[in-house]
Structures are given as C-alpha cells and as structure tokens.
Structure 1
Amino acid sequence: MTQKNNYLDYSGSEDQFTGGINMIPISTPKGEFNVWTKRVGNNPRIRVLLLHGGPGATHELYECFDGYFPYEGIEYIYYDQLGSYYSDQPSGNELWTIERFVDEVEQVRKTLGLNRDNFFLMGQSWGGILAMEYAFAHQENLKGLIISNMMSDVKAYNKYAKEVLGPQMPKEVLDEVLEMEENEDFENPRYEELLMKHHYTEHVLRMPLEKWPNSITRTFDHLNPEVYVYMQGPSEFGIIEKATLNDWDRSGDLDKIKVPTLTIGGAYDTMDPKHMEWMAGEMQKGRYLHCPNGSHLSQYDDQKTYIEGVVKFLKDVDEGQF
C-alpha cells in the first residue's frame, strides 16, 4: 500500500470535485460576479495567493511554479482577478480601480480562509501594486508579502523606461516608437511589432519570441485589453499619461509595511532593480532578491535564482528566521 501524501490529499475538501478550482462570488458596486481560483496542495502554515500582472492578464504567468512548489510542500493559489480571462469580465470601467481590487482580494482571502498564521500574498508587476495596496489596508491579515518586479512609483518607472531602457533600442526604432506614441497611433501593428522585437525580448522575457513558454503566450493571448489599456496603456514601455495608474506613488509609505516582505528585481527588468532594492530597505522587515540574468518575468529567464529566493523567504518567515 502506498503512503498517503497529505500535501496532495484533497479528500474531504469541497473543491476535490473540481480539482481545487473555486469560483468565488465577489460583491461590487455593479453587482455580484465570480472570480476563478485554483488551490494546489495543502500546507496549513504556508498558503500563497498569487496576484498576476497586467492589469487584465492571467494566473498563467505563474504556471512554472508547478515544477517547484509542490516539491517544497508550498500551498499556492492561482487567481484570475475580475475582468481577467477565467473570471467574469463585466463591461465598463467603473470597477477598474485600485480600491475595488483591494476589496476583491480581501473577499477572496475570507472565502479561502487565509489568515495571519498562513497567508502570504505575492504580486508581480501590477500584482505588486495590488499587493502593496492590500498590505497598506489589511496587513494585519498577512504572514508575509512578496512584491515581484514592481517599483513603488510609476513616475520613476516611466523615467527609467524612457531614459534608460529606451535608448538601448536602435535609434531609428526608438524614434519610430516615440513618434507613434506622440501621435497616439497605438493601434498601428508596427507599434507592437517594434516593441515585441526590441523591448519585450530584452526586458520582459529574455528569449526569442518563438521560444517563449506556452504559459506566457497564453497569458498574452488572454489579456483583457479593456482593463489593461484603461489602467496601464497600450504596452509595457511605461504607463501612459491617460492611464489611471499614471500618478500612482507609494514610496513615502513603504515604512508602514511591518510584515516580512521580499522585493524582487531583475538586472534587465522593465523596472529599475536599484529602486526595488531600495524599497526593501525602506520597509520594516524587507529583503531584496536580485536576479542577475532576469527581466520582468524573472521566474522564467532567471528561474533558479528566482524560485530558490522565493522558497527561502517563505520558509524563513515560517520558521521565524526572518
């Protein structure tokens, strides 16, 4: 008889029938909608809720965790935010605010029974903004916080994109991109073509496009442009002035975060890694993880560094070694 593995034992759980998937009802000013979550594993001490980027992307960008977290005994929960592919996608822009998304995360937390004895919140890119904002509002519920590949000041992010990363493109390419941005010619297929070739493969995921993992190509295929453009703009080359996140800045509030926090940056990131290292120093219990070969999706292009650093943080906090 084989020994039962408690980590993968879903017997007696309501979500055994669905393989860990839960459609969680969310109350909003526009009514009730459902968001998709999927629990992997059982660990009553380490439960990681994953906040994807975008806004409007999907949980799929984290799927490489399947190759590592089960071996480490880490419970993790995939989650598509409202408006994202696997969740309900209400029309209109009224619900796409930071405050409403924070309230959504809190409703998800309560439904899943996460609490300060086990609740780790991990957000990447826009998910990092959401994770920070959740911590400012509800850090009493957290055991630990992970902010992956996100700066605490959008103006600084834009400055880094335009003054540091932009000039790394061939001059004629940058000039053409900037001209299209000046003319708001974002629907021009040339705009995406140039950025994918000269910016995304250098600073979003450092692989030729044809070698990008299927999980990432699906993430981009499933991106909700209505949410993404409204809050971010048309691309990862900075946040445009008309986007609602354009003025977001929490740098002056970082010292209010009391829970153990890991910030993650990549040497080739769309975000300034020095800023993310600085963020860790501003927090009361901060640690910085640098991915020397990584870009914005360091979990893929510097996977060993990224995964080992995240696992170490989770276990250090759980064992009181932080």
Structure 2
Amino acid sequence: MKLKNLFILGAACVLVTICSCTSPAAKQYEAPELAEYFKDTTAVPKTGGVKMVTINTPKGKFKVWTKTFGNSPTMKLLLLNGGPGATHEYFECMESFLPAKGIELIYYDQLGCGNSDNPKDTAMWDLPRYVEEVEQVRQALHLDKDNFYLLGHSWGGILATEYALKYQQHLKGLIISNMMISCPAYGKYANEVLAKQFDPKVLARIREIEAKKDFANPEYMQLLIPNFYEKHIVRMPQAQWPEPISRAMGKLNESLYVTMQGPSEFGISGKLTNWDRTKEIAKLTVPTLSIGAQYDTMDPKHMEWIAKQVENGSYLYCENGSHMAMYDDQKTYMRGLGKFITGINNGQKKIEL
C-alpha cells in the first residue's frame, strides 16, 4: 500500500507540565449509568448515531458524515482528523477509554474525506471554508458552550485553532493535539532538528529524490518508513501499526493532502505554508489543552508554550509518544484527555496533568 504522511504536523512536548489551580468546590466526577449513556435520542429510523449533515459552500451544497457514540448532555467531543485528507477512523481507539468517563464521541469526516462527499475540486480545500464547515456541523448537532469540546489532531489542530479564534464563544473546551500553531516554525524544526537525526547518506538520498520531485519513486517511502514514520509518526514497526491507523491511511485523499501540505515530508509547500497564529493565540479564553509527545514531528517546546499563552491553558506531555501518541503512549494520552474534559465539566478552568 502506498503511504503518504497521513498527519502533516505535530507538536512534540517538553518535560514540564502546566500546573494550575483547582476550585475547592469543584464537583467530583461520577460515572454515568450505562443505560443512560447509550440511550439513543435520535429520530426514527435509528442509524446507530450516523447523521449526514448538509453544508452550504461557495460551490453548492454537500453532505458530510458524522457519527455519535454515546449520549452525554454536558461532554460532547467532536473530533477533527489529521492529514489533511485522512478519516475519523484512527480515533476509534478512544472508544476503549472515554465512554467509561461518560464522554460522548462524535466522529466526523471533513469534506473530501472518508464517508463524506468529495467534490474533487482543489478550490474547496481551503482553511477558512473548513472553519465554516465545522460551524455548520456544530449547529446541526446542537453543540454549544454547555457541552461542546473540540479536539483537533495534526491538521485538525490547525482547523480547531482557527475555529476557536473565530467561534470560541460556542466552545466549552478546546484540545490541540500534536500540532504547532506556526507552519513556518514547523518547517524550520523539520529541517534543522529532525533532518539532522537521519543517517547523512539516507538524508542525502531523500533530498535528492525531493529535489527531482520524484515523490512517486518507491524508494522514497522505503527510506521514510524506517527512518521517519517508525520513529516520529507511530513508534512501532509499520507492519504492526494498529488497524484503525492503516485503514485511515489507506483512504487518504491525496489531492487534499498535496494541495494543503505539499508532497514533501519535510516542511510545507501547499496552501498552509505561511499559516501562523502565534500572535493571535493569546486571544483564546476557552479552557485549552495542548498535547504533545517527546518523539513527535515538531518542536518539543512549542506545545508547552501554547498552554502558557492562552488564558486557561493545560499541557499534557506524552513521554513515550510520537505524532500518534494516542497509540504509542496511549495510557498517558487517554488518562490526560479524560481528566481534562471531566475536570472542565466539573467547573475547573485549568487542569494539572
């Protein structure tokens, strides 16, 4: 199977967490009744939580796929996949952890991804348009400041950040997972730090292939998989990657990926090349969790910095993880994510993780 870098960006972590104060009167988390959590409140006929949401775009109306897992009146987590161009499917690992805490999961394939419509029009692959798409999904699913948590991973972190800067009044909590908020800084780190970790001969050959724009050359991925993917994307042999990752990667929309990210695995050359919200991030007042990992594809200090810049920031450090820390440092990732969401639900603004 031909692989592309499913997840363009990521944030690595630092060795310090953001400690924060908690309210003495904070309520204690209580697990929901099983029957109540799985209560299906949707209209008939039942669809197992699947809802196709109609979105309006400059090119007409399209449908995007969503699926709700569980039922929580106060903790609804909408998931924004990476790529750009991947699918919701690699988030399925969350079913093994978050429902036990009463957190409702909402899977969502962005336009051009997975089960959603694909207009096959590169003009549609545009960050501001995707922000408005998320807002239309929010409205259709009746998410609001009393229940709406938004998690964006990798490219989804860019989308989540951009959405929050415009619509944070609708959010209860924001999670930026494995994502820097500056693409120029991402490119610099890839070239000045990650590239230098390669064997010089391997790096020289990768650079040679990229200079010729010979990205279809099988040797390109043969070099990247053991030297990059297995060290910084998922820290295990590619043949042992969990099935949801491989399934999502196998459905990657290459047109969307290349348009936004560009074909190279080092830095960005697509529409996102100059995206940078380092000056604006301080405007966020919504409780925000940034998640990074030691072996991620980006600067280990950047995710901690994000948590310090926002008004109510918390930081989760995955010591053994990489870009897909929800798999290769799973216990740390899921424990911290669950603690953040339930803590905010109990009235806290910052969470010590």
**Is the 1:15–1:22 contact (alpha carbons within 8 Å) kept by the matching residues of 2?**
no
Could you report, residue by residue, the CA deviation over 1:254-309 in whole angstroms, capped at 9, with x for unpaired residues? 10011000000000000212111111101111111100000000000000100011
Aligned pairs for 1:168-207 (under 5 A) are 168-207=197-236
Could you tell me how far 1:70 is from its partner in structure 2?
A: 1.3
Q: What is residue 312 of structure 1 aligned with on the other side? A: 339
**Is the 2:88–2:114 contact (alpha carbons within 8 Å) kept by the matching residues of 1?**
no
Could you tell me how far 1:16 is from its partner in structure 2?
A: 6.4
**What amino acid does structure 2 have at the position aligned with 1:51?**
L
**What amino acid does structure 2 have at the position aligned with 1:269?**
D
**Is the 2:320–2:329 contact (alpha carbons within 8 Å) kept by the matching residues of 1?**
yes
Q: What is residue 154 of structure 1 aligned with on the other side? A: 183
Could you report, residue by residue, the CA deviation over 1:7-27 in whole angstroms, capped at 9, with x for unpaired residues? 0111x4127621001111111
- Aligned partner (choices 254, 260, 263) of residue 234 of structure 1: 263
Q: What is residue 137 of structure 1 aligned with on the other side? A: 166
**What amino acid does structure 2 have at the position aligned with 1:113?**
H
Distance 2:232 2:34 in 1: 43
Could you report, residue by residue, the CA deviation over 1:170-190 in whole angstroms, capped at 9, with x for unpaired residues? 111111111112221112121
Distance 1:15 1:302 in 2: 40
Deviates more, 1:136-145 or 1:85-94: 85-94
Query: 2:132 aligned with 1:103, yes or no?
Result: yes
Query: 2:283 aligned with 1:256, yes or no?
Result: yes
The alignment's TM-score, normalised by the length of structure 2, stands at: 0.88
Q: Which runs of 5+ in 2 are unaligned?
A: 1-32
Could you report, residue by residue, the CA deviation over 1:206-232 in whole angstroms, capped at 9, with x for unpaired residues? 010111000000111000000001101
Structure 1 residues 268 and 180: CA distance shift in structure 2, 3 A = same
Task: Give aligned pairs, total.
Answer: 317
Distance 2:267 2:237 in 1: 22
Distance 1:284 1:175 in 2: 43
Could you tell me how far 1:168 is from its partner in structure 2?
A: 1.2
- Aligned partner (choices 291, 296, 309) of residue 318 of structure 2: 291
Structure 1 residues 176 and 109: CA distance shift in structure 2, 3 A = same
Q: Which runs of 5+ in 1 are unaligned?
A: none
Q: What is residue 143 of structure 2 aligned with on the other side? A: 114
**Is the 1:46–1:314 contact (alpha carbons within 8 Å) kept by the matching residues of 2?**
yes
**Is the 2:260–2:272 contact (alpha carbons within 8 Å) kept by the matching residues of 1?**
yes
Could you tell me how far 1:234 is from its partner in structure 2?
A: 2.2
**Is the 1:236–1:270 contact (alpha carbons within 8 Å) kept by the matching residues of 2?**
no
Query: 2:72 aligned with 1:46, yes or no?
Result: no
SS at match of 2:344: helix
Query: 2:79 aligned with 1:56, yes or no?
Result: no
**Is the 1:265–1:272 contact (alpha carbons within 8 Å) kept by the matching residues of 2?**
no
Q: What is residue 25 of structure 1 aligned with on the other side? A: 54
Q: What is residue 163 of structure 1 aligned with on the other side? A: 192
**What amino acid does structure 1 have at the position aligned with 2:313?**
G
Query: 2:76 aligned with 1:35, yes or no?
Result: no
Distance 1:64 1:235 in 2: 28
The alignment's TM-score, normalised by the length of structure 1, stands at: 0.96
Distance 1:239 1:200 in 2: 17
Could you report, residue by residue, the CA deviation over 1:27-75 in whole angstroms, capped at 9, with x for unpaired residues? 1111111101110001100000000001100001211001111111100
**Is the 2:210–2:264 contact (alpha carbons within 8 Å) kept by the matching residues of 1?**
no
**What amino acid does structure 2 have at the position aligned with 1:56?**
G
Moved over 6 A (4+): none
**What amino acid does structure 1 have at the position aligned with 2:64?**
V
Structure 1 residues 80 and 290: CA distance shift in structure 2, 3 A = same
**Is the 1:261–1:285 contact (alpha carbons within 8 Å) kept by the matching residues of 2?**
yes
User: Greater relative contact order: 1 or 2 (C-alpha under 8 angstroms, separation 6 or more)?
Assistant: 2
Percent same amino acid at aligned positions?
53
Could you tell me how far 1:4 is from its partner in structure 2?
A: 6.5
Deviates more, 1:174-183 or 1:221-230: 174-183
Q: What is residue 38 of structure 2 aligned with on the other side? A: 8
Q: What is residue 279 of structure 1 aligned with on the other side? A: 306
More helix by share: 1
Could you tell me how far 1:91 is from its partner in structure 2?
A: 1.4
SS at match of 1:37: strand
